[in-house]
Amino acid sequence: MTADLLTIAQQHITTDTPLPAAGAIWMARLETAGLDIADLETGALDEHELAEREAQRHHSRQTIESYRTALTLFLRWLDREGRATVGALTLDDLLNYVRALRTRTYDLSQQATRRHENGTARQRLAPRTIYGYTRPLLGFLTLLETYNALGFRTSVARAELTRILPRLPEPVAPTPPDLRRVVCFYDRPIEEDDRTERLHLIRLRNAALLHLLFSSGARISEVLGLNVGDVCRDRHILARVNVYSKGRQQGIIFVRRSAERALATYLSARTYPPAALPLFESLDRRTAGTRLSRTSGWRIVHAAASAVAARMEIEGKHDEAALLRTTSPHTFRHFVGYHLLNEGVDLVEVSQILRHRSVEVTRSFYARYRDMQLQEVHDQYSADPLDFPDADEMAPS
């Protein structure tokens, strides 16, 4: 299958190339970028070799699928407008497509069409959704331009898109709840709940997952993408673990002592499996042995947070309980960021720990912390008022 994609990726594009064919060439290039041609010709690969191939890709599967969605929607719109070939594509087509996305009555999804037929009002697409449908198209247009098949410059298209795309709100991380009780929820097994070996292993796995998120501030996709060999060498848990961040960039997460203990207990119960196996496996009877999904990871976190929230309700801490019920795996990341900043860690160091692409990203996400810090400085150094003396006090004696 991958060899077939490589053949498609090497095809030439002209002004007469049908737009769907040109789109298939672009997607094939995305899927094969970074792969070694020799590896593609070796035929069947085992699980370890397949994992190595995936690690070599320039783009993650999630990125490829998001680009595929954006391209599919654009090509569907062009087909409705009667544009069949690459040479028929104009800059106005791209701009009109973006304007159509911004209108309240336009949506390309088939589900939205069915809602409209049933009389349900369509809602305006969120600005980030419009960006997600539009920005990947610049890569497609760049490919067409390299073959001199595009009737306009992508630099002009980029400038025009900047002018008409909606303004994105500043990304701000919400204030997280205190997760120190949540992370310990699975630490003490209850005998009646662990009546089988499988249920006991599930609890140890869940504890290890929460401790690793709490310790490192890693993204859930980074944690679930780890294999046993990434965190364990000779039955010893590593303090620093390599992960692949957004855009397939390699980074490092740090594993603290509590997470080391939880991981060691979990892997010991699995009798230290081979290094190539997923670190966090599904233990469901239907999907046993496969890598734990992000949905399952969210459920594990949500169940722990909801249980702790119920205890908070009994203690009369209703606001804290409501905040805990919104906990997701990414909340651990925000907790780590806010906690480090509140403890006086430099913004640059926090940015490196969270593996943001720049310090400005960290600054914008934690703008609320910056406001609180400025308020503290303002309260500490601002002048205090002086009481105005009464008239009797001002009169000469």
CA separation for the pair 51, 227 (Å, rounded): 10
Query: Is the pLDDT higher at 112 or at 67?
Result: 67
Strand 232-233 relative to strand 236-237, pairing: antiparallel
Assigned fold of 197-376: hpI Integrase; Chain A (1.10.443)
Average confidence (pLDDT) over 234-244 = 91
Q: Tokens standing for 202? A: 């599930």
Residues 6+ apart with CB under 8 A from 259: 208, 211, 212, 214, 215, 216, 237
- How high is the mean pLDDT of the chain? 83
- Is the separation of the CB atoms in 325 and 255 below 8 Å? no
Query: Per residue in 48-98, pLDDT tens?
Result: 555 665 666 667 777 888 899 999 999 999 999 999 999 999 999 999 999
How many percent of the chain have pLDDT more than 90? 47
Residue 393 has pLDDT above 90, yes or no: no
- The pLDDT value given to residue 387: 73
pLDDT at 388: 72
Interatomic CA distance for residues 119 and 26, integer angstroms? 38
Q: What is the mean pLDDT of residues 139-146?
A: 93
Q: Which two tokens stand for residue 328?
A: 């997701």
Helix axis angle for 197-216 and 257-269, nearest 10°, is 160
Confidence of residue 122 (pLDDT cuts 50, 70, 90): low
Asked whether residue 296 carries a pLDDT value surpassing 80, the answer given is yes
Decide if 90 contacts 152 (C-beta within 8 A). yes
The CATH 1.10.443.10 domain(s) of the chain lie at 197-376
Is the pLDDT reported for residue 251 higher than 70?
yes
| Rounded Cα gap, residues 134 and 88, in angstroms | 19
Among candidates 137, 69, 151, 62, which has minimal Cα distance to 98? 137
